[in-house]
A and B are shown apart, each in its own frame.
Chain A
Amino acid sequence: MVAVKDTVDQVAGLEKYEHGFVTEIEQEFAPKGLNRDTVAFISAKKEEPEWMLAWRLEAFERWSAMESPDWARVSFPPIDYQDATYYAAPKTKVGPASLDEVDPELLRTYEKLGIPLREQEVLAGVAGAPRYAVDAVFDSVSVVTTFKKELAEAGVIFCSMSEAVREHPDLVRKYLGSVVPVSDNYFACLNSAVFSDGSFVYVPPGVRCPMELSTYFRINAAGSGQFERTLIIADKGAYVSYLEGCTAPMRDENQLHAAVVELVALEDAEIKYSTVQNWYPGDPETGKGGIYNFVTKRADCRGDRSRVSWTQVETGSAITWKYPSCILRGRESVGEFYSIAITNGRQQADTGTKMIHLGEGTRSRIISKGISAGRSSNTYRGLVSAHPKARGARNFTQCDSLLIGKSCSAHTVPYIEARNGACTFEHEATTTRLSEDQLFYAQQRGLPEEEAVQLLVNGFVRDVLQELPMEFAVEAQKLVAISLEGSVG
């Protein structure tokens, strides 16, 4: 292709991962290694009640007896769990009361990342601009949660997980681990033992959460992993839309991110959960460094007519292993999964969803768009199952893969299990390369090759971008373009 040289030059001059900086800040760490003492240390740091420590220790015992899963189409050297730090926190007191108590260096970090932590900054925007409340998690702790007061007036609880354990123990005990049981899988079990922070949301019956909620995760410290835990409960008839974003510095070693997200939707409730995942993907040439993103996300549509939709834009991480799923238990409950997964360089992604139809008249919809470039590997893995009682269950799945370049690969592995005579499943999948004809057509009309590629790719992922909250859709579209820099040729 003609533009190859130009592209290569262009890319050479680019800062490939713009969030790759390190924040110089005084931090406090747990001793390296993982044993009962580490678990007790984390629990003590968080001033947790006895029951929480017992819960963690049980998880640790179970995890010690488990083996790392090997069924996903990803490969990585064995992880030495004793060679990592499980707790890293900026040296300020836990849960600062106001922004003034937050280390200014931290505030500058979030400024640089474009995350508004000062409510007045958000408010100072154009009148009518959408507002969103933020919980900012820096390594192992939540540094600040905005708009708490306004949310509280609506009855919405939005706080860090640590705070929830202390302030709302009844809710936490009732729901924590009720969607993703402690020993669900290797990484979820590890998370249950050592989770440090994350967000907690409770929306009371009939309340429509007055603004978008979001959590921003940042791994900063070297040699540490991040193990956040998020729990969102939408009570009867409630509605909430939640967005998470994540970045990490460029480091040569691999860092582990093993999060657990649990969503509970009761009768007539609706949760929209969006993710823009942009962890450091490792060096595109050597494959060195990058985040291992081994995440368990699951929603329990417990109530009749409840509804959960997962939207994810996955562009970062060296390895992604995640399957945001819906257990469709309530009658006529609805699960949706919209995904864009982009791999470039030497990234590996094995991602998809599970839609488990248990209740009558349940419906699900899966739209997955995978794009592989460079020398990456991109796998969609999904399960749609209807149990004998799930009469009238319906699923539609559309799963498309796009290949850019000769050295990447794309895989589609759907599992379909129909266990009753009144369900309707439709699954369609395609794998193609970026059309040279379309590319030429766009170039003939004057678009440079790189822009033409972006245009076509944006068309390819459009169905999913539309599911994101407006302001993030724009962001995500840019991210898609950046992730594919240098992929043409």
Chain B
Amino acid sequence: MLSLRDLRVRVGEREILKGLTLDVPSGEVHAIMGPNGAGKSTLSYVLTGRPGYEVTGGAAELDGVDLLGLEANARAAQGLFLSFQYPLEIPGVPALTFIRAAMNAQRKARGEAEISAPDFLKQARVCASDLKIDFDMLKRPLNVGFSGGEKKRMEVFQMAMLSPRFMILDETDSGLDIDALRIVSDGVNALRGPGRSMLVITHYQRLLDYIRPDRVHVLADGRIAASGGPELALELEREGYDKYARAA
């Protein structure tokens, strides 16, 4: 379970999260919706430990482990995965090389043995075929020259390979057409299960038609302004965020 208590975050002079409290129990999928500038991306970055985000108060724990004291890669080894809104290009490093290095680094951090090359390749072939990724693409430098849709698919591919227990999907639907959205969501849904949770960050309700959340939260002005069931997302779609913006 992910547990955030009164989390306060500052970027430079500006306070962006102003006391955010949220629980995502194990096995559940929660959606975070909110107007632009509410702090949605900040939340995903501060949880994963991107430099430049200063935590001024509060706590963030994953299954009792304090995340805030850990390096970004140590958080990843704890099973925390962020699907980036804008995945980065890594020139000169083939996707397979990258993922294998990441997988082994995580295993090492957890005191596990490295994966053998044949096992790794077998797993990669299965995941690639599930996500309709051409295997040759995995031999190319990661994300270099990939289209927006291809990059998002590579994010889900890595998610499947690394099999994290807590996933943050940051605006995963942006830049995707309907077909790509279906493939990506199918990939994400296949990873749902007991012991795995997700935080789906999105501005639009559309993605939630494909990845059905258990709970929906509205993030406005750095706090959770409202929480409810899936119907809350539909209400937001109808009525917009005005009422929360005014409240803020």
A and B touch in the complex (CB under 8 A): no
